[in-house]
Amino acid sequence: MSQATIESILHEKRLFHPSEDFSNRAHIKNLDEYRQLYDRAKTDPEGFWEELAETELHWFKKWERVLDWQPPFAQWFAGGKINISYNCLDRHLNGDRKDKPALIWEGEPGDSRIFTYAELHREVCQMANAIKELGVKKGDRVGIYMPMIPSAAIAMLACARIGAPHTVVFGGFSAEALKDRLEDAEAKLVITADGGWRKDAIVPLKDQVDKALEAGAPGVENVLVVKRTQQEISMQPGRDHWWHDLQTRVSADCPAEEMDSEDMLFILYTSGTTGKPKGVVHTTGGYNLYTHVTSKWIFDLRDDDVYWCTADVGWITGHSYIVYGPLSNGATTLMYEGAPRASNPGCLWDVVQKYGVTIFYTAPTAIRALMKLGEQHPDARDLSSLRLLGTVGEPINPEAWMWYHRVIGGGKCPIVDTWWQTETGGVMITPLPGATPTKPGSCTLPFPGIVADVVDAEGEPVTDESGGYLVVRQPWPGMMRTVYGDPDRFRRTYWEYLRPQDGNPIYFAGDGARKDEEGYFWVMGRVDDVINVAGHRLGTMEVESALVSHPAVAEAAVVGCPHEVKGEEIVAFVTLKEDLDASEELENELKQHVVNEIGALARPKEIRFTEELPKTRSGKIMRRLLRSLASGEEISGDTSTLQDRGVLEKLRGG
Ligand code: 7RM
């Protein structure tokens, strides 16, 4: 499609309507139904969520109170007893769903496995018993550092079953980053694999765990290892245990622990604007309800669907929309270990064709990479089973939206552009596919129960069309409860950044947005110092701390620079310690150093050595100027606060 066509679509503000057929069969069938739900939830939020909690979930014991709101701390369904593993497994075992595929798994080398609900339940019970045998008790934290294999989901559900909060660390993080997270969470056990497949090579996960435990995390007493890639690894007697050994010994009977609705379910670390990642805490009942209802209405789940989310379980999208949301609904969820690569550019479409995938949920960066690989790959496969597409992770450019719609969706599938965050637990602003007409690039309207707005720095609503801060005004069941071990940081970061006149705290987590005349939201990206590289959130400070921990570096400033596939890339400005000279060798060494400290996802594209960084008179680095320089733009805007204007000339010259 030419740029002119895209412009004209945008100019006409063309709406894409779901087909009549889609709408008629959908859970939410039209905008009136959406508005009724939205208004009901707005006028009586507690009644709205209470009714859903009663009808959609199993509770061992009913709650005493729907919501206890002591801003910014919320408790949902406190006193209620529930287990999310029970809701995801046990309650589906009575009828036909027992023998329905719960989890379809496709490995990168082409091996595969299908678990029915009964089989998945059995495996989860076994792993839960194995974890107990390794000394883990209700309330103890468990680290999970796994490739995309069924055992990753099984480990999460096993922890949830016995009430041990998990902290999943993405397999792409380095040993150093793993150590930091295990330490912060005070994990007692780590569940890992010998390795994982990543683009035809082995990621040595167990070796990384060994390194992490050599460097720290003294609380870790045991390591449970799943065999995947079969290469030789070292096993420390007494500490390390093979899963296949334990599995033959343990019982498959493990009743789900009755958890309080507000007991911690998991911690997931995410980047903020300071160096130290935040442990985002989610609890049980509200998270279960929110991921359940959003999965059901946004992905329009039906019993005959084959639902596939391509995220990694190490990210919130994997937690909420590969594992907990779909399984709570009794859906068939697909998990894929591979990724498109030169040796296999059509692999995603092979999987769609092989299993008759009906719902496909991925990220804009993946869509742009697939566009580059060419239409011939999807065109050569039968994608007619698809009925709904989704996107998440960053703003989607209209050209990628149109390509996704035409080439993958055959022009007939609605697209749900879902805006949300690790902190929100589940999707917040999104189309409901049978109801909401979509506009390419807009995540459209808030989910029922979500009071979203765009405000200025004083917390006042901005007039339509002009941009501002994207905020949420009321608590919702899936919201994060705190930062692990640091409630004050939770309050400061999310609920005190903006302080409205009326004194009611509002939630803000870093995105800028605007609302159009129809109330549609257009998310414009981060307004804070967070970079979004291929859908992965990285704090500039995190990367800067990694750089200055190298003995040659005096000071570092890191910015995001636009990239056509990844969204953004990292460019680092570095000043060296006295009498050290810049060289290509040092540049490569620094890049590798960042990889060692954080992981390959944080590797800077470019390092620019400079004698000085542009600073304000009060000593703050002016990242705005560096961003312009990194993307080759003219420097516009105010430079009057710059301490030394000569710096800019030097930076341009360098
Ligand atoms: C789910 C997830 C959160 C950040 C968020 C945004 C960006 C996510 C969209 C989006 C525009 C979207 N969690 N983001 N979804 N921007 N449109 N549909 O990604 O915690 O890892 O990242 O991602 O900036 O604040 S996350």
pLDDT category at 644 given cuts 50, 70, 90 is confident
Task: Look at residue 492 and tell me whether its pLDDT is greater than 60.
Answer: yes
Task: Look at residue 12 and tell me whether its pLDDT is greater than 60.
Answer: no
Residue 255 DSSP label? P
Average pLDDT over residues 42-61: 98
Least confident piece of the model among 108-122, 479-493, 549-563: 549-563
Helices (H), 332-479: 347-355, 364-373, 376-379, 398-403
For a mutational test of ligand 1's pocket, the pick from 273, 421, 521, 524, i.e. the residue with the most ligand atoms closer than 8 A to its C-beta, is 421
Phi, psi of 142 (to 5 degrees): -125, 130
Q: Is 583 helix (H, G, I), strand (E, B) or coil?
A: coil
pLDDT category at 588 given cuts 50, 70, 90 is very high
Least confident piece of the model among 132-141, 191-200, 496-505: 496-505
Non-local CB neighbours of 136 within 8 Å, separated by 6+ positions: 142, 162, 164, 188, 189
Q: Give the binding-site residues of ligand 1, using a 6 Å CB cut-off.
A: 270, 315-317, 392-395, 417-422, 443, 509-511, 523, 526, 532, 537
- The pLDDT score that the predictor gives to residue 612 is 87
Task: Look at residue 273 and tell me whether its pLDDT is greater than 80.
Answer: no
Asked if residue 616 lies in contact with residue 642, where contact means CB atoms within 8 angstroms, the answer is yes
Task: Look at residue 495 and tell me whether its pLDDT is greater than 60.
Answer: yes
- End-to-end alpha carbon distance in the chain: 38
At 376-408, the pLDDT tens digits run 999 999 999 999 999 999 999 999 999 999 999
pLDDT category at 269 given cuts 50, 70, 90 is very high
- The pLDDT score that the predictor gives to residue 7 is 56
Average pLDDT over residues 274-284: 89
User: For the residues of 45-76, what is the DSSP string, one character each?
Assistant: HHHHHHHHHHHHS--SB--SEEEEEETTEEEE
Peptide bond into 326 cis (omega under 30): no
- The pLDDT score that the predictor gives to residue 525 is 84
Closest C-alpha among 425, 426, 452 to residue 521: 452
Average pLDDT over residues 619-625: 79
Average pLDDT over residues 480-508: 93
Task: Look at residue 1 and tell me whether its pLDDT is greater than 70.
Answer: no
Q: Which residue, judged by its Cα, is nearest atom 13 of ligand 1? A: 421
Residue 513: how many other CB atoms lie within 10 Å: 25
- The pLDDT score that the predictor gives to residue 9 is 54
For residue 536, how far is its CA from the centre of ligand 1 (angstroms)?
9
Largest Cα separation within the chain, whole Å, is 74
- The pLDDT score that the predictor gives to residue 366 is 93
Tokens of residue 641, six digits: 């606060």
At 145-165, the pLDDT tens digits run 999 999 999 999 999 999 999
Average pLDDT over residues 455-474: 89
Average pLDDT over residues 594-602: 94
The whole-chain average pLDDT of the chain stands at: 94
For residue 200, how far is its CA from the centre of ligand 1 (angstroms)?
29
Task: Look at residue 652 and tell me whether its pLDDT is greater than 80.
Answer: no
Residue 133: how many other CB atoms lie within 10 Å: 15
Q: Which helix (H) or strand (E) holds 647?
A: helix 646-653
For residue 266, how far is its CA from the centre of ligand 1 (angstroms)?
20
For residue 79, how far is its CA from the centre of ligand 1 (angstroms)?
32
- The pLDDT score that the predictor gives to residue 621 is 80
Average pLDDT over residues 120-143: 98
